[in-house]
Amino acid sequence: HAELFPPLQVKLALKLCSNECDQGHLFSDWDSTSRGDDEKKKKMMHQLELLDKNYQPGGLCEYIKNAKKLLKHAKEGQNPFDGWHPSVPKGENVEYGSKKHRELEKIGLKQAKKTAFVLVAGGLGERLGYKGIKVRLPVERATMETYLGLYVKSILAIQETDEVVRTSGQKIDVPLAIMTSEDTHAMTVDLLESNDYFGAKKTQITLMKQEKVPCLVDNDAHLALNDEDKYVLQTKPHGHGDVHSLLHQSGLLKKWKQMGVKWVTFFQDTNSLVFRVIPGALGVSKSRDFEFNSLCVPRKAKEAVGGIAQLTHTDGRKMTINVEYNQLDPLLRASSSDGSGDVNDPATGFSPYPGNINQLIVKLEPYEKQLSKTGGAIDEFVNPKYKDSSKTAFKSPTRLECMMQDYPKSLTGTKASVGFTVFDNWVGYSPVKNSPEDGKKKFDDGQPTHTATSGEFEFYNCASRILRLAGANVPEPEIDSKQKFNGMSFPTGSKVVLSPSFGCSFERVESKIDNLSLTAKSVLIVEGDVSFENVQIDGAFEVKAEKGSKIVLKNLSVKNKSWEWRSKANAKEEITRLCGFEIKKKETSSLLYSEKNKTLVVDGDLSQLELKTH
């Protein structure tokens, strides 16, 4: 068939058929006498060529070689942690709002101007059961802000801070790279374009698409063809670890270095709280000169959150690394004297191993250097589901995977400083990963549910708590066990949304509050430069100062019928079904001010506010 294909494709096919790669089965049905299916054959060679190009470094032959080795280890039941002993590592614990935290934020905000952000958003979130991309989900339904909108606006708020000024006096555009996949790319582009990049410059955001890898049918790493079409290879996602090779291949790291970027901060598709802790964590990276800093929260045993452990090898090597949630229990069981695995410490009610939330801060210079050496390759693993205990056949084709938090494995044996920073759950971690049905099971087990419902309430509760720490009088949220959302009850209270432009650090929020109080039934939505002096709210209040303008609220008492979060089961509308409630808006007081370079002072005069009855 050689005349059908360009020479490079012929070379690739021959390589694949070599003894070493042993993939002759891919072509065994090709009829050498008839020339039928030529177009399909061309498409297949094109697919193979892409798969070869995308698996870097090394191409398809390297993939097959790695797969054979890992499948052999899996069949032999080799423990990936053989020879390594886990212990609880020492990291930096930071209490949000404390003196130490304020100091770290000051240092961190200075570093923020030298930070590039990387969002990994190639996953479809199958556990959630949502049809769209996860970054399109609303963080909360009071404003319907999407995750991607919140993230971009948080980056822009950092960019707007006084500290973010180049030596020349010019403000820089803080870069954001987003890793997408075939499943999420088009929808991510559409979300950005239809929202005008959420106020960012188009050039500020770079999209990098990860490609899938071929599936494997057996322990000899034979590549899988589609059951319905023998000219199409089956593929699956390779995992978020691809982000490193993509950053390397795209040349972004070099470009960022030239721009003066010093840090790269990675984060995931749904964690509405991530930007609350980034300034402080950047402060830790800077002051402790961490080359790699994982952000953590206290972890409940068995929670689907990896644990950070110090692993010490019998030969003396040490590494501080995430042990993924499905591997932590067997590792701990194998190494403890009494066989106890992933269990809570009775004294704290949490696992002694800090939970990795996969927000990673990496020092750019050594990272770029290391990736130039490795090409961004990350340790892979394979997780085949065998048909029976002979471990000779798989239930369905498997593939190699990799995780972005495994990057420090490549630093073992070097002097690189790898550390972690722990914040409390309420301010650091609130992902949306589980369907209402799976969330309910976790709820019944006393586990965090990580549902759209918990995500929304935790977002409001975090903002309320920050206001309390800043001196405001906001009641603690309470659980009303009669009020169930998709069968679960959560602590709820005032619904507070502080947009990133209101303050991207604790001190900034605190500087805007001087005697503010809210009742539990209140809703407060604040955007832009707004300050509160002697303000009482008992109702729903939306206040927004457009960019460049300022509002000072003084001696005000806002009162109206407010909004209500009403439980609603089995709704047709997808988001309502996921959260299990709808918002009934009754009355809202609102104020919008957009005069550039001017301040609106509202002193005791309620007539300046608009009262809407819905």
Rounded least distance, CB 450 to ligand UPG, Å: 8
Under DSSP, the state recorded for 124 is: -
Shortest distance, CB of residue 224 to ligand UPG, whole angstroms?
Answer: 18
Give CA 395 to chain center in angstroms: 30
Nearer to ligand UPG, 341 or 475 (CB): 341
**From the CB of 383, what's the least distance to ligand UPG, in Å?**
12
Among 12, 179, 278, 591, binds ligand UPG (CB under 6 A): 179
The two most distant CA atoms of the chain are separated, in Å, by 91
Q: How far is the CB of 242 from ligand UPG (least distance, A)?
A: 7
For residues 462 and 251, give the distance between their C-alpha atoms in angstroms, rounded to a whole number: 38
Residues of this chain, 210-229, that bind ligand UPG according to CB under 6 A: 210
- Of 224, 403, 525, 535, the one binding ligand UPG (CB under 6 A) is 403
Residues 3-22 within binding reach of ligand UPG (CB under 6 A): none
Strand partners of residue 514:
533
- For ligand UPG, the binding residues in 490-529 under the rule CB under 6 A are none
Show the tokens assigned to 395: 């239930």
Q: Return the number of the residue (125 or 503) whose C-beta is nearest ligand UPG.
A: 125
Question: Taking Cα atoms as reference points, which of 566, 541, 569, 572 lies closest to residue 556?
Answer: 541
Size of the site for ligand UPG (CB under 6 A): 25
**Nearest residue (CB) to ligand UPG, 304 versus 545:** 304
Residue 266: how many other CB atoms lie within 10 Å = 25
One character per residue 298-337, x = contact with ligand UPG (rule: CB under 6 A): ------xxx---------------x-x-------------
Least distance CB 56 / ligand UPG (angstroms): 16
Segment 265-284, which members bind ligand UPG (CB under 6 A)?
A: 268-269
CA-angle at 462, arms to 460 and 464, nearest 5°:
70
Closest separation between CB of residue 578 and ligand UPG, Å?
16
CA-CA-CA-CA dihedral for 566, 571, 573, 575, to nearest 10: 60
3-state DSSP of 157-207: HHHHCCCCECCCCCECCCCEEEEEECCCHHHHHHHHHHCHHHHCCHHHEEE
The one-letter amino acid at 165: V
Least distance CB 121 / ligand UPG (angstroms): 5
Interface residue with ligand UPG among 54, 272, 358, 560 (CB under 6 A) is 358
Report angle CA 291, 211, 37 to the nearest 5 degrees.
160
- Residue number, 302 or 568, with CB nearest to ligand UPG: 302
* Side chain identity, residue 340: S
Binding to ligand UPG by residue 357, rule CB under 6 A? yes
Q: Residues 552-571: x/- map of binding to ligand UPG (CB under 6 A)?
A: --------------------
C-alpha 120/C-alpha 402 separation (Å) is: 13
Span near ligand UPG by CB under 6 A; candidates 147-155, 238-246, 387-395, 499-507: 238-246
405 near ligand UPG, judged by CB under 6 A: yes
Nearer to ligand UPG, 239 or 279 (CB): 239
Comparing CB distances to ligand UPG, the nearer of 114 and 300 is 300
Cα 600 to Cα 594: distance, rounded to the nearest angstrom: 9
Cβ-contact 527, 501 below 8 angstroms:
yes
Cβ at position 106, least distance to ligand UPG in Å: 28
Q: Which range, of 50-58, 137-145, 234-242, 369-377, touches ligand UPG by CB under 6 A?
A: 234-242
Out of 108, 149, 175, 239, which residue is the one contacting ligand UPG (CB under 6 A)? 239
Mark the segment that binds ligand UPG (CB under 6 A) among 82-90, 233-241, 468-476, 490-498: 233-241
Exactly one of 101, 276, 399, 433 binds ligand UPG (CB under 6 A); that residue is 433
| Residues 6+ away with beta carbon under 8 Å from 487 | 436, 440, 443, 580
Within residues 63-122, the interface with ligand UPG by CB under 6 A covers: 120-122
Cα distances from 49 to residues 8, 44, 46, 55, 60, in angstroms, run 9, 9, 5, 10, 9
Query: 579-608 as b/e, with b when 16 or more CB fall inside 10 Å?
Result: bbbebeeeebbebebeeeeeebebeeeeee
Measured from the CB atom, the residue of 219 and 405 that comes closer to ligand UPG is: 405
Q: CB atoms < 10 A from the CB of 18, how many? A: 11
Query: Measured from the CB of residue 431, what is the shortest distance to ligand UPG in angstroms?
Result: 5
The structure tokens listed for 78 are 């080799």
- DSSP string spanning 39-81? HHHHHHHHHHHHHHHHSTTTHHHHHHHHHHHHHHHHHTT--TT
We find the least distance from the C-beta atom of residue 180 to ligand UPG, in angstroms, to be 8
Residues making contact with ligand UPG (CB under 6 A): 120-123, 179, 181, 210, 237-240, 268-269, 304-306, 322, 324, 356-358, 403, 405, 431, 433
